[in-house]
Amino acid sequence: MLRLNLSNEPRWLDLGHGVRLLVEPLTTAIMLAARSDPTITAATEDAAIDAAHSNDDLARIVAKAVARIVVKDWDGVGDEDGEPLTLTPEGIDALLELWPIFEAFQTKYIAGALILDAEKNA
């Protein structure tokens, strides 16, 4: 049975290591907006030309594009001196370059939508 959560309120997503992101629900509109992100467009064009462009590279690029749209705040992210950093698109990209954070974001946020998509195609 498919369970719908009809709330469109942002929620805190715990990524471990003391990091939390305030994220909007992942919707079709967000995925479509992310697909038109210039970094994704360029990566998919490059992938068609360059067979060495891996699915992992595309997953990282998509995760960053989605995160730049849905993340509204963060907690537990600081600079070298431990001072809290202001949320920026560049900061989101840098945060997702950290493997454990990227993996948690993929698993806890993006994978739910992809699993549902895979189930409908099964």
pLDDT in tens, 22-71: 999 999 899 899 888 888 777 766 655 455 557 788 889 999 999 999 99
Domain annotation covers residue 6: no
Domain annotation covers residue 120: no
pLDDT in tens, 59-76: 899 999 999 999 999 999
Residue 24's nearest CA partner among 73, 92, 62 is 73
Domain annotation covers residue 76: yes
Domain annotation covers residue 91: yes
Name the strand (E) or helix (H) holding 93: helix 89-95
Is 85:71 a contact under the CB 8 Å cutoff?
no
Residue 82 has pLDDT above 50, yes or no: yes
Domain extent at residue 90: 11-115
Domain annotation covers residue 46: yes
Q: How many structural domains are present in the chain?
A: 1
CB contact set of 76 (below 8 Å; sequence gap of 6+): 17, 18, 19, 20
pTM equals: 0.81
Domain annotation covers residue 31: yes
